Amino acid sequence: MKREIKKYLFDIKVSIDSIFEYLGDERNFFEYQKNKLLRRAVEREIEIIGEATNRILKIDSNINIENSRQIVDTRNWVIHGYDKVDNVVIWGIITKHLPKLKAEVEELLLN
C-alpha cells in the first residue's frame, strides 16, 4: 500500500478517535444536540474523514473501505448543505458507522 494512502487512513483514524473523545464515554444525543460547539467539531471531523476517503479513492478506487462513496457524499452534504445538516443523521453515523469504519481503517493500517 502506498505511503500516501496510509497517511490518509491515519487521518481518518485520528478523526474518528477525536469524535469519540469529544463525546466522552456517555455519548448522550441530547447533550450533543444542544452543544453547538460540539456539533461543529464533530461535523469538521466528518469533513476530514470524507476528504481523506476521497483522496484515497483517487489513488486506489479499489480500496477495501465499505461505503467509501457514501462517506465522501456525507462530507459533501455537511459542507455544501450546512443548513440542512440533520443531527439525528449525524448521530446515526457516529453510533452505527464510525465504529465499523474505525475497524476497517485499523485493519488496513496493519497491512
pTM: 0.94
In the residue annotation, 80 being an active-site residue is answered as yes
Q: pLDDT at position 72, please?
A: 96
Q: How far is CA 39 from CA 1, 32, 55, 106, 109, in A?
A: 34, 6, 24, 25, 28
Distance of CA 36 to the CA centre of its chain: 18
Dig out the grid coordinates for 8 from the structure.
490518509
- Single out the catalytic residue among 27, 44, 69, 75: 75
Count the neighbouring beta carbons within 10 Å of the beta carbon of residue 79: 15
Q: Tell me whether residue 75 is one of the annotated catalytic residues.
A: yes
**pLDDT of res. 26:** 86
Give the separation between CA 65 and CA 100, rounded to whole angstroms: 10
Given the residues 44, 55, 80, 97, select the one marked as catalytic. Answer: 80
> What is the block-wise mean pLDDT of the chain (111 residues), using blocks of 10 residues?
96 98 93 96 97 97 93 95 92 96 96 80
Distances in Å between the alpha carbon of 100 and those of 13, 54, 89, 92? 11, 18, 16, 12
- Taking the C-alpha atoms of residue 88 and residue 7, their distance in angstroms, rounded to an integer, is 30
